[in-house]
Structure formats: C-alpha cells, structure tokens
Amino acid sequence: MESVEIGLVSVLAMLVLIYLGTHIAITLMLISFVGVWVIKDSPQIAVNLLWVAAAETVHSFLFAVIPLFVLMGFLVAAAGMGRDTYDIGHMLLRKVKGGLGMATVVANAIFAAITGVSVASASVFSKLSVPEMLRHGYHRRFAVGTVAGSSVLGMLIPPSVLFIIYAILVEQSVGDMFIAGIGPGILLTIGYCLQIWIMCRYFPQSVMADPRAFEKDHVAADAERMTPKELWSKLIPIVLLIVLVLGGLYGGVFTPVEAGAAGAFIALVFAVVRRALSWRGFWDVLLETGSVSATLLFLITAASMYSRMLGMSGLPTELAAIFRDMGASFYVLLAIYVVIVLILGTLIDSTSIMLIMVPLFLAALKSYQIDLVWFGVITVVATEVGLLTPPFGLAVFVVHATLARKDITLKDIFMGSMPFALTMCIVLLALIAWPPISTWLVHTKF
C-alpha cells in the first residue's frame, strides 16, 4: 500500500473511531502511531514520533498563553464582571423591544473581550440572563437560545483561545489574529441584534410568551435604572482590563504570554478587592483552569502527531495536486472545506475540528496564496457554528447543565439556538465574500 493510500485510510479510520465515541486525542494518537508504523514499517520510529511530538509540541514558552488566558476568563467570571456587563447592556437597551435579548448579546460581546472562552460565557449568562428574561415574560426557547447563541462571541472577539491555537498551528502572529477578530466580532454582534429586532417585529410570538408583555417589559425597564455612579463602578474595571490586555498586546508592551499573565493578575485583584473569591473558590478556579488547559494541550500534542503522520504520508500534498489538476477554483475548495467543518461541528468540539482539518487542507490552500489570517477567521466562525448544532452542540449542553431546570429541555435550547446558527452562517458568507472585514485592521498602519 502506498503512503498516500495509508494516509487516506487513516483519515477514514479516524472518522469511524470518532463516530464510535472514542476520545479525539486518543483517536489521533492511535491513528498516528499505527500510520507511521505502517508507512515506515518500524514500530520504533512510531514510538519515537510519539516521544518527539509529546516532548517538543507544548515545550515552547508560547503555549503558556493558553492556561493564562483560560485562568483570566475564569477569574473574570468569579469576580462578578459577567453580571456587570449584563447590567450595562440592560441599561443601554432597556427601552428597546427585545432589549433584554439584545442586552445579553451586547454583554456577551463585552464579556468576550475580557475572557475569550465560550464555555465561560454560556455558564455565566445562563445564570444571569435566562431567569431575568423569563421573569419579564420572554419565551423560554428565545431566552436559552439567546444565551447559547451569543456565547460563541467568546471565541471570536479577542482575546480568543481558538485564535491562539490557530496562530500556533499555522505559525501566524497571535496579535494579528486577535486584531482580525474585531471586525467579524462586531459584525456578528450587530447581526444578532438585528435578528432579535426582526423576530420582535415580525414574529413576536417567538420572543414573548405573551406578546403583550413587551409593554410590561418597558415599564419594568424604567423601574430598573442605574445611577451614573453605579454605571461607572461597573464599567471602569471592564475598560481597564480590556485596555491593559488588548492595548498592551497591540501596542507592543506585552507579548501574548505576558498579556495573559497581566490580565489574569488584574482579574484576581478585582476579585479579591470585591471579596468575590474565597480560598475555596480560588481553588475551584485553579482546578477548572487546569482541566481545560490540560485538555487543550493534550489535543494539541495529539494533533501534532497527526500532522507529522500526514506529512509522512504525503496526503496533503497529493490533495493539493488533485485539486490543482481538477482546475478547481479556490472558492470551490473553500466551500468543500467549510461544508466538512460544519458537518464535523455536529460531532466534535471546535478545537478538535481545527486541529484535524487545518493540517489536512493547509497545503492545498497555500497553493492559492491565501491570507492565512483571513482563513483563520473563516475557520473559527465555521467551527463555532458547531457549538449550536445537534447532536453535539457544546454551548447548548453547557446552558442545559448550568440551568438544570426540568421545564427547559435540550430540544428547547437547540430550537432556540437555530436562528442564531443561521445568522452565523450568513455572517460566514459575508466574511468569505468580503475578506477586508477581517483583514483591514491587520494591514492598516496607524
């Protein structure tokens, strides 16, 4: 059997194992080990591959950025800054129809700028937004769908853990990837708010359990005004953290690792000053950070083995040659890539999709001289759609587990999330059609 054929069989075997429920990292390691063994006809070379990949992949100092940004996200949530962002969003949009839904979207966008973890957003706003929306008469499917849908902003608006992983994977600047996420993040936030307005205007029964409750919602909003002092006390810490982390990174004051460390430290200071974090709570934050970071780094190590095995097989180069001989245009190849990513999004998590698909298609896509920063944004948005689609839908499961209510089922959350998944697909098409939405800020020199 030729090396390319072995590479193709390994991809098919990987999909079978994923469908059977095998853990992604274990699948990638096993496939890589067996693939190299067969290609080189030597189990010793396969063992050496595992050792080199494990020793060298996450040995780089740059990988410290992952646990630091994850830690910052959990500390920000523990400090109560999620509630602050929600209160600010509610204050700004309290008189708009569907204002609580839009407030949840805007609050998620602000919260994303200081966390970068979608799971944290879904967990925090499940506790904050859903009870408030239900209390004001919103339909339960709309309430939970809005929280799940807007939580994906955590992986698009910088800082984003997925952008960090992608930057490391394709050797791009983390800072450039963060900047590239600003335009798409704002566009998706506006798209969500516009979608909610359309739903309120033309399909009010899908937003409010009783559409007449819109008037009651306005009255309640007037009764919940925030004083200027309260507004500034909530806004200043958020602005300071965003300016410190993103401003320091873009301004060249911090490296990505230093920006993550500075952000985590300031978030810890805020949590301590507010007396929002006990020793037990701090220990829980450290455990959650360790669990998430270990999972991500384990996946990255496994993906490194997989990439090396694919390189030995020559499959990515062969795919590039096949597409070139077919005369397929870049957009045909990109369409194939995006469709596969969307399908995989129904089965596995965003990080795993990225670590599997990018190495497989990168050689073919590079031959078209594409902007890898723009391609990274497309990849992140496409993989994030999978957070909302059944049967996997990680954001949906997080919302369901956090709420733990018998009157709200997984079906309710998936159904409520569908309009947001559709809006994401529309935004994805816009980003493909107009690359400057992602790249203009990156290539503009101020």
**Environment class of 142 (CB within 10 Å of its CB; exposed 0-12, middle 13-18, buried 19+):** buried
Please give the Cα distance from 247 to 259 (Å, whole number).
Answer: 9
Mean pLDDT over 24-46 rounds to 83
Per the prediction, the chain carries an average pLDDT of 82
CA distance 225 to 91: 7
Mean per-residue pLDDT for 263-280?
Answer: 88
* Cβ partners under 8 Å of residue 19, min gap 6: 347
Q: Give this prediction's pTM.
A: 0.81
Most confident listed range (21-25, 29-33, 222-226): 29-33
Asked whether residue 224 carries a pLDDT value surpassing 70, the answer given is: no
Half-sphere exposure at residue 441, Cβ-oriented, CA atoms within 13 angstroms: 15
Q: How confident is the model at residue 422 (pLDDT cuts 50, 70, 90)?
A: very high
| Average pLDDT score over residue span 170-181 | 88
Predicted confidence (pLDDT) per residue in 54-109, tens digit: 776 667 676 777 888 888 878 887 888 877 887 787 777 777 778 888 988 988 88
Highest mean pLDDT among 58-62, 162-166, 402-406: 162-166
**Residue 208 in 3-state DSSP?**
strand
Checking if the pLDDT of 180 tops 60, the result is: yes
Q: Which of 256, 263, 79 is nearest to 175 (CA)?
A: 256
Determine contact, residues 377/184, Cβ cutoff 8 Å. Answer: yes
Q: Which of 428, 430, 417 is nearest to 338 (CA)?
A: 428
Is the confidence at residue 217, as pLDDT, over 60?
no
Residue 216 has pLDDT above 60, yes or no: no
Tell me what pLDDT residue 434 has: 94
Question: What is the pLDDT, as a whole number, of residue 43?
Answer: 83
Distances (CA, A) of 393 to 5, 20, 308, 390, 443: 33, 17, 30, 5, 34
CA distance 12 to 29: 15
Tell me the average pLDDT across 277-282. 89
CB atoms within 10 A of CB 96: 18
> What φ, ψ does residue 208 adopt, rounded to 5°?
-110, 135
pLDDT-based confidence at 192, cuts 50/70/90? very high
What is the pLDDT averaged over residues 257-267?
A: 87
Report the pLDDT averaged over residues 397-422.
Answer: 88
Give the closest residue to 73 by CA, choosing from 167, 150, 161.
161
For residue 439, pLDDT over 60 is answered with yes
Q: Picking from 53-57, 170-174, 340-344, 417-421, which range would have the lowest pLDDT averaged per residue? A: 53-57
pLDDT above 90 (res 247): no
Give the type of residue at 203. Answer: F
Q: Cis omega before residue 211 (within 30°)?
A: no
Share of the chain above pLDDT 90, in %: 17
- Which helix (H) or strand (E) is 121 found in, with range? helix 118-135
Q: How far apart are CA 59 and CA 400, in angstroms?
A: 36
Give the pLDDT band of residue 213 (cuts 50, 70, 90).
low
Task: Please tell me the predicted confidence (pLDDT) of residue 374.
Answer: 94
Q: Please provide the DSSP assignment of 63-107 as one string.
A: GGHHHHHHHHHHHHHHTTHHHHHHHHHHHHHTTSTTHHHHHHHHH
Q: Which of 320, 299, 437 is nearest to 381 (CA)?
A: 437
Give the DSSP letter of residue 247. Answer: I
Q: What integer pLDDT is reported at residue 220 of this predicted model? A: 47
| Residue 58: predicted pLDDT | 66
pLDDT at residue number 445: 52
Alpha-carbon gap, residue 181 to 437, rounded angstroms: 9
Least confident of 49-58, 118-127, 371-380, 382-391: 49-58
Token readout for 36 is 């190299």
CA distances from 242 to 72, 113, 235, 274, 373 (A): 12, 6, 11, 18, 22
Model confidence at 223: pLDDT above 60: no
Cβ contact 204:134 at 8 Å: no
In the predicted structure, residue 29 carries a pLDDT above the cut 60: yes
